Amino acid sequence: MTREEKALAIEDLTAQLAGVNVLYLADISGLDADTTSNLRRACFKAGIKLEVVKNTLLDKAMEASETNYGELPTVLKGNTSIMIAETANGPAKVIKEFRKKSDKPLLKGAYINEEIYIGDNQLDSLVSIKSKEEVIAEIIGLLQSPAQRVIAALQNQEEKEEAAE
């Protein structure tokens, strides 16, 4: 790879990282072509962009980025794949589901809304993170519950008054 190609690759990675709130780093080494293809399909279905990257280029792209990735560049050893998604728990769910059939991919680290997670032992906590839609649905449910109780109480009171007459 020439210097110009490296510079272009770093520029491209920096552009991909710009404005990203959910970034996972995973090790997919050791997966055969068929298994890797299945992982890519699972990622595509979940709306996750999966790309194998060179560690040095990703490290330079992270440095060039305006985002503070904290300790995340320290895990850039061996084979690295980036997983970019909209939902915080999407890549973790795909990895966990995939691990039922294989011991890979391994989670190296994750950057989620300015929080840094390092190591494969963080996978279970990342799976349990609620997506924005789940949190909104939960809040709406909590807000609707008291209103429904008030309406039910008023309807019951009205029925009691009609029965008393």
pLDDT of 83 reads 92
Indicate whether 78 pLDDT > 90. no
pTM of the model: 0.75
Indicate whether 18 pLDDT > 80. yes
Q: What is the pLDDT of residues 31-77, one digit of tens each?
A: 888 888 988 999 999 999 999 889 888 888 888 888 888 888 888 88
Distance, in Å, from the CA atom of 21 to the CA atom of 88, rounded to the nearest integer, reads 8
Give me the DSSP letters along 46-85. Answer: TT-EEEEE-HHHHHHHHHHSSS--TTGGGG--SSEEEEE-
Q: Do residues 116 and 71 lie in contact, with contact meaning Cβ atoms separated by under 8 Å?
A: yes
Amino acid present at 110? A
Give me 47's structure tokens: 């709306």
CA dihedral 111, 113, 117, 120 (to 10 degrees): -70
Q: Do residues 62 and 73 lie in contact, with contact meaning Cβ atoms separated by under 8 Å?
A: yes
pLDDT of 165 reads 65
Q: Classify domain 3-129 at the CATH topology level.
A: Alpha-Beta Plaits (3.30.70)
pLDDT of 41 reads 92
Q: What is the pLDDT of residues 116-128, one digit of tens each?
A: 888 888 787 788 7
Q: What is the pLDDT of residues 133-165, one digit of tens each?
A: 777 887 888 787 777 777 777 787 777 777 766
pLDDT of 49 reads 92
pLDDT of 121 reads 82
